[in-house]
Structure 1
Amino acid sequence: MNDFLSIFYPILFTFLTGFLAYVGKEVLKFAPKVAEYWVAKIGLTNYQETKAIAWDIWNVVEEHCRLSQVVGDKVQVKVTMFETLIKQKVPGITNAEIEIIRQSIAGEFNKNKPLIINATEKNIQQPYQHQ
């Protein structure tokens, strides 16, 4: 029995060493993909969180400009106020990221405006007639 174990252990050790080496190589091949996945997921999560904050800021800016008398270029006032507030809420955000998020939100915010304008113009052209 002792002879069997003295032969079996080195064979088992060699097999396990080879198996672990193979698994290690495969893990090293797979590790960058896993890392890229998590970086992308974290990046997407950060983007979504930043965009949610930006939507809140957008609504604050819209409400502020609606309630107050804005002197000068209203669009520039909104842009400046948006940039200032988002830099306060999201430290480290770059101007390029702010621009992308602002344009994304503006696109979503304004996507139905042509429909509203067309409906309004249609109602103006065809006023309600009392029967």
Structure 2
Amino acid sequence: MYQQIINALVPVLITAFTGVLVAIVKAVGNAGVQLIEEKAKAVKAKAGADKYDQYMKYAWSAWNMTDENFRITPALEKTFAAKQAEFEVQIKKLIPGITDEEIEMLRQAVAGEVNKGREAIEATASDTPGNGAEVNTTPAA
């Protein structure tokens, strides 16, 4: 009689044990997949940050080359637009394939750091037409 009870309970216990084991494996598997996805996102974010940091290093280098080129100019004969164009040339040499939008973003980031704490240039003592330092005298609407 005990043998019949054991023979009847063993398949039920095996089925229950298998169900519990499957549930545990599924929970652990889902947690593992989620962990891998989070790690992948972190790696992508780090790679993006590393790329940005590298681009900023190149931008600072291009800025310094441009600044040095304009520093030795005795007069304000080269305009701000010319300085921006020179920056674009330098950054394109350092980062081939960079887009104009990325160049603008990097130029603004570097200029913001360089000009932090400085007052804006509104006019020069010898303001001549075409030097890039004209003041707009039209009233704002």
TM-score (norm 1): 0.65
Counterpart pick for 1:108 among 113, 120, 132: 113
Matched, 1:80 2:85: yes
Q: How much does 1:53 deviate?
A: 1.4
Structure 2: runs of 5+ lacking an equivalent? 1-9, 120-141
| Alignment root-mean-square deviation, CA | 2.7
| Amino acid in the other structure paired with 1:43 | G
Find the counterpart in structure 1 of residue 61 from structure 2.
56
2:75 and 2:89 map into 1 onto residues whose CA distance is 17
Structure 1: runs of 5+ lacking an equivalent? 1-6, 115-131
Q: Per-residue displacement from partner, 1:65-105 (whole Å, max 9, x unpaired)?
A: 11146886521111111111111211232211111110011
| Amino acid in the other structure paired with 1:79 | Q
CA 1:64/1:70 → structure 2, altered by over 3 Å: closer, same or farther? Answer: farther
TM-score (norm 2): 0.61
Identity %: 33
Residues paired across the two proteins, number: 105
1:99 and 1:39 map into 2 onto residues whose CA distance is 24
